[in-house]
Amino acid sequence: MKYPSIPAAQALVQHCKAKGIKNIVISPGSRNAPLIIGFSEDPYFSCFSIVDERCAAFFALGIAQQLREPVVVTCTSGSALLNYYAAVAEAFYSQIPLVVISADRPRYKIDVGDGQTIRQDNVFHRHIGYSTHLRQDVVHATDSILRYVPHWLEKGSPEEIQESVQTFNDTELNKALNTAIESQLPVHVNIPFEEPLYEKHTQQTVTALIKKALSTEEYSVEEIYHFADIWNSTAKKMVLVGVNYPDTVSQHYLDHLASDPSIIVLTETTSNLHHANFFPSIDSLIAPIEKLENREEWFKRLQPEILLTFGGLVVSKKIKAFLRRYQPLHHWHVDSLKAFDTFFCLSHHFKSGANTFLGKFLPLVQGVQSDYFSYWNNIKKSYEIKRKAYLGQIPFSDMLGFAISLQAIPKGYRLQLANSSTVRYAQLFDLDPSLRVFCNRGTSGIDGSTSTAIGAAVYGNAPTLLITGDLSFFYDSNGLWNNYVRPDFRIVLFNNQGGGIFRILPGRENTDNFETYFETAHDLNASQLCQMFGFEYASADDALGLENVFASFYEKSRHPKLLEISTPRLLNNKILLDYFDFISSVFINR
């Protein structure tokens, strides 16, 4: 096996290996050659080559999202590093341990007119779990140091000074990588390398000092009796679950919550929780009430006394607006690491995983007489009937296309959702419990959805489907420039010729200015991209055609497939808004 000649590169590879970090996403370059050599020459690591750094970072994020372990993404010096920022921010807010390793020029060559040099240290300082700038080795390229910065060697021999460099670097690498493991946050390691960059050794010349990561402490049972007393004396309790990794909450705990007459459980598509008594379409509950003249009376009836939340960020703007105005007396959040005060009334943070917390808390819970669940469950059943009737009478559109597409997904698929209108449409329908659903909800951006999905599909037995909108797809089209796309990977692309979600927002106008600068109207299609990147292509623009395509879309194939669904740009928003008007009669008639 071969090793890079630069000690810092050797040390970093050893640290990653010792901490079980196996997956390395590399964007080819020159300054990061020592890192490429170190990772790619060692069979322990699985290395991926992705040219576009923005796509590479989201690809790595997708792997980390699925494996729930740190993944390295590494690049050359200069502006390459800045292309990681969107994925770093997403990882920061989604608690995904992305390990960014950037090669840098020596400090004495920054801001002197050298090419591919920027100020790389602390570049992510507002959105990073830990950031470090390693010290440059002095036993490597000593002649350059003597030429440019001879004062570095005034306090001892190169070998003596190298010992302090190595100690510093080991300490910082332990802090950075352990932060990624313990806090599930992105970290940034910036390493300056002097030339020569491509020299190799046949033996290791460095032995890194490794410090193991610590396990996360969880909440003790003795501290929850007081909260159980409050819970047991309350007749209106709401449980709200945002982004949640599949299979992390035991079904018998969910059954317990679902059987309590004083609890309503609101879930989102990304929560990956299912029960017949849960409320999976939050906007179908909230939006119709907003349209009523006596909405104040309805919202006060829905207002909980206790709000228990777990999982990550919540998609529904309507539930956020409701709970911010009609705040509960108590808001408790369960998460082993952090608690966002989303509704501006957070009163307690249980530092525990949801499964652990429920296992300790529910045995202390007693039944409370209440009609809270039964009342709202009857309304839910009514609007579900109305939704079915509405779908039976509308023309082909985004909403009908989503209804057909979601129904057609085979059991057991991993479903990746793009942001904006895609994830919101998905919220309106009940998904099969066997599906495992993911979405980049940390920053909720449209960038990187395709790259994330392709990265997420690399590991696992189940195939992956990405459902995306046209702007998200074309924005991240370089994500298809990828040698690791599985043949069972599928994309369903809704092309409504622009950012259709802007037509349902306040301030929309039917003007050229609106279409150009907000909606971004276009007439692109994905057929030529599919030809270039080796995807099988299919299209549909009506319900019958869509159902016909789905008859064979998920069959085994030699190449990945993309289905492009064309919907009417000027009609989609009206059909969606009319849906909430249509189901509002559920409330008017009560």
Mean pLDDT of 359-388: 95
Q: DSSP H helical segments within 184-303, as ranges? A: 225-232, 251-258, 282-290, 295-302
What pLDDT is recorded for position 520? 78
Q: pLDDT at residue 517 above 90?
A: no
In one-letter notation, the amino acid at residue 152 is W
**Local confidence band at 215 (pLDDT 50, 70, 90 cut-offs):** confident
- Report whether pLDDT(509) > 70: no
User: 46, 22 in Cβ contact below 8 A?
Assistant: yes
- Reported as a pLDDT band with limits 50, 70 and 90, residue 586 is confident
Q: What is the mean pLDDT of residues 78-101?
A: 98
- Tell me how far apart the alpha carbons of residues 6 and 422 are, in angstroms, rounded to a whole number: 47
In percent, how much of the chain has pLDDT > 70? 95
Which segments of 345-439 does DSSP mark as H helices, in order?
Answer: 354-361, 372-391, 398-408, 421-426
Residue type, 384: E
Instruction: Tell me the pLDDT of the chain averaged across its residues.
Output: 94
pLDDT at residue 460 in the model: 85
pLDDT of residue 250: 97
Domains delineated in the chain: 3-201 (3.40.50.970), 221-379 (3.40.50.1220), 396-570 (3.40.50.970)
Contact 330, 307 (CB under 8 A): yes
Confidence of residue 12 (pLDDT cuts 50, 70, 90): very high
Question: CB neighbours of 113 closer than 8 A, spacing ≥ 6?
Answer: none
For residue range 410-428, list pLDDT tens digits in order.
Answer: 999 999 999 989 999 999 9
Query: Do 297 and 221 form a contact (C-beta atoms < 8 A)?
Result: no
pLDDT recorded at residue 269: 97
Three-state DSSP class for 424? helix
Burial zone of 252 (CB within 10 Å; 0-12 exposed, 13-18 middle, 19+ buried): exposed
Asked if the model's pLDDT at residue 218 lies above 70, the reply is: no
Render pLDDT for 393-402 as a digit per residue (tens, 0 to 9): 999 999 999 9
Alpha helices in 68-202 (DSSP H): 85-94, 142-148, 158-183
Q: 562, 566, 550, 564: which is closest to 489 by C-alpha? A: 562
Contacts (Cβ under 8 Å, ≥6 apart) of 161: 138, 152, 153, 155
Report pLDDT digits (tens) over 427-470.
Answer: 999 999 999 999 999 999 989 999 999 999 999 899 999 999 99
- Determine the Cα–Cα distance for residues 352 and 336; give it in Å rounded to an integer: 4
Question: Do residues 488 and 463 touch, judged by C-beta distance below 8 A?
Answer: yes
The letter for the amino acid at 126 is R
User: pTM of this prediction?
Assistant: 0.95
Q: Is the pLDDT of residue 503 over 60?
A: no
**What is the predicted pLDDT for the residue at 522?**
87
**Residue 78, Ramachandran bin (φ over 0: left; ψ between -120 and 50: alpha; else beta):** left
Q: Is the pLDDT of residue 203 over 70?
A: yes
Q: Is the pLDDT of residue 590 over 80?
A: no
Give the contacts of 441 (CB within 8 A, at least 6 positions apart).
94, 242, 243, 270, 312, 313, 315, 419, 423
Question: What are the distances in angstroms from CA 134 to CA 185, 189, 569?
Answer: 19, 7, 52
Range with lowest mean pLDDT among 71-75, 176-180, 382-386, 506-510: 506-510
d(CA 318, CA 94): 21
Residue 500, pLDDT > 70, answer no
Query: Per mean pLDDT, which range of 90-104, 236-250, 433-447, 491-505 is the poorest?
Result: 491-505
Task: Encode pLDDT of 229-268 as tens digits.
Answer: 999 999 999 999 999 999 999 999 999 999 999 999 999 9
Arithmetic mean of pLDDT, 490-518: 71
Alpha carbons 579 and 582: distance in angstroms, whole number: 5
Banded model confidence at residue 516, pLDDT cuts 50, 70, 90: low
Is the pLDDT score of 498 beyond 80?
Answer: no
Lowest-confidence pick of 162-166, 291-295, 553-557: 291-295
Cβ–Cβ < 8 Å for 419, 425: no
User: Cα–Cα distances in Å, from 291 out to 135, 296, 383, 586?
Assistant: 61, 11, 15, 12
| 567-574: average pLDDT | 90
Give yes or no for a contact between 18 and 181, defined as CB atoms under 8 angstroms apart. no
**Whole-number pLDDT of residue 369:** 95
The pLDDT score that the predictor gives to residue 217 is: 61
Query: Residue 16: pLDDT above 90?
Result: yes
- Find the mean pLDDT for residues 572-590: 86
**Region 111-124 average pLDDT:** 94
